[in-house]
Structure 1
Amino acid sequence: MALKGSCPMLLLPLVLLGAWLALASEKLWNEKNDKFLLQHWNYPRSKDSNGTYCDTLMQRQEMYGQEANTFIHAPMGSINNICTLGGTPGKPNERHSVAPFDITVCAFNSTSRTYAGTRYVRRIVLDCRKGLPIDYVRHI
């Protein structure tokens, strides 16, 4: 049975609005994942010939002066996998990696205005949305 009257004309804008909102929401999560990768992903690990790894990366990522930041040295697929099968649930939206990851923690020294980097192999905790990491929480 076909709809009569002005109802079909009212439904079309609602359907289009719903589709637009779904696409906009997906774009938002992809942008958050892109920002996560820019701030926390460095694979393969950049060469550190003179001990300035953290200074160089923090400047390059435009995060110089930030108190601390952690870089993950693993393929993107391995990191994304934490948000699905390669991780276990934690607090809401948090996933704990099952496997340990090679990471570098860069800490800012306000006196010398430089960063010191410490490498670890640790399990990591990520904030995940829609199966993608959007923030680094901590290492465990």
Structure 2
Amino acid sequence: MALETTLLVFLLLGAFSGTFSQTHCKPPAGESRPQIFQRQHYDNPKTNHGNNYCGAMMHKRCMTNQDPPKTKCKETNTFVHAPKKTIQSVCSNGGTPYQGSANLRVSNAPFSVTTCKIKGNSGTHPCEYKANSDTRKIVIGCENGVPTHYDEGIIVPK
């Protein structure tokens, strides 16, 4: 009985420590632009968070600025559900220059994406998001043949 009680206490502590550790998220120090792109926009295969996909992913990927004094929630973010190499190919033969831009490229093929938008006027905590899943072409910024920026402001139909 004592072993079962001890095991239960450890399980509960593990559950609580996981909850507490999720309240503060800090992006890794010294991230490169390609690493930031990957953290903020790559999710393949799509993570299963049920009805709270955006809330969970935005927090998990450190885009809700949980640590004071940062109190602003990222308003919009898109996750791309495709293999890394497929996304990276947009920077070469899988994409074309976007409207004459030197480093923006539009994908030749549509991608499965989930766009998370802040609900209402809530720009501060708790950050609540609405998810919109779609298939569309993506516009990304590239440097040295790798993605470094997802352009949220440009939505290109299939």
For 1:46 and 1:32, the matched residues in 2 are separated by: 23
**What is the TM-score with the length of structure 2 in the denominator?**
0.66
**What is the TM-score with the length of structure 1 in the denominator?**
0.75
- 1:33 alignment counterpart: 34
In terms of fraction of residues, the more strand-rich structure is 1
Answer with 1 or 2: which has the greater Rg: 1
1:71 matches 2:72: no
Q: Deviations over 1:48-91 (max 9, x none)?
A: 33x00000000011112111100000000000000000000121
Identity level (%): 33
Q: Deviations over 1:78-120 (max 9, x none)?
A: 0000000000012120111000000000001134841000001
For 1:105 and 1:80, the matched residues in 2 are separated by: 19
Deviation at 1:139, TM superposition (A): 3.0
Q: CA RMSD in A?
A: 1.7
- Aligned residue type for 1:46: T
- Aligned residue type for 1:114: E
Instruction: Extract unaligned runs of 5+ from structure 2.
Output: 1-29, 65-72
Instruction: Extract unaligned runs of 5+ from structure 1.
Output: 1-27
Verify the 8 A CA contact 2:49 2:56 in the aligned structure 1: no
Deviation at 1:31, TM superposition (A): 1.6
Aligned length: 111
For 2:55 and 2:133, the matched residues in 1 are separated by: 15
